[in-house]
């Protein structure tokens, strides 16, 4: 189905139209990739598991040279410290989600603008829609596998 659509676009499209379709498809695939990244962040947030890049915060520890580790007050402070770091990581994950969502919306808008700008013929648009549908279906299958990363 994908190959048939690609052959059809090559057969009826000019080189300029083919370049337009190529850039449209790249923009569309970028939106799918951003959606997957957003979905991963969303899943991590809902599972209360911030992204691995934020694990660097786990290395920050509370130290007090004059106090022994067995000191109950110091132990309480260390527990509070860990809770603050945990909350900070979740807050940063929220900001990462918002940034990714903004980036995704911008890419979608740029894609729509390109689609309107190029104004492809009906036959080319139909072939492109077929190609887009196949790519989207395959990407969703790939994304489904990728989103099971926390189940392991």
* The pLDDT of residue 151: 66
Task: Give every residue of the chain whose pLDDT is below 50, as ranges.
Answer: none
Question: By C-alpha distance, which of 59, 41, 36 is closest to 51?
Answer: 41
Would you state the pLDDT for residue 149? Answer: 73
User: Rounded to two decimals, what is the model's pTM?
Assistant: 0.82
| Structure confidence by residue, pLDDT tens digits, 112-143 | 999 999 888 888 889 999 999 999 999 999 99
- Domain locations in the chain as residue ranges: 2-146
Task: Determine the Cα–Cα distance for residues 30 and 24; give it in Å rounded to an integer.
Answer: 10
* Coil, strand or helix at 152: coil
- Residues 117 and 58: their CA atoms lie apart, in Å, by 49
**DSSP H helical ranges for the chain:** 2-12, 15-46, 72-118, 122-146
């Amino acid at each position: 189905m994908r190959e048939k659509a690609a052959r059809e676009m090559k057969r009826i499209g000019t080189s300029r139209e083919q370049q337009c379709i190529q850039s449209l498809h790249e923009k569309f695939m970028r939106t799918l990739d951003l959606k997957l990244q957003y979905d991963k962040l969303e899943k991590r947030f809902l599972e209360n598991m911030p992204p691995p890049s934020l694990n660097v915060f786990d290395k920050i520890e509370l130290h007090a040279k004059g106090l022994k580790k067995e000191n109950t007050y110091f132990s309480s402070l260390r527990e509070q410290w860990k809770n603050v770091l945990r909350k900070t990581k979740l807050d940063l994950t929220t900001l990462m989600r918002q940034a990714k969502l903004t980036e995704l919306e911008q890419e979608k808008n740029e894609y729509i603008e390109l689609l309107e700008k190029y104004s492809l013929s009906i036959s080319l648009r139909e072939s492109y829609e077929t190609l887009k549908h196949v790519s989207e279906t395959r990407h969703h299958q790939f994304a489904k596998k990728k989103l099971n990363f926390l189940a392991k």
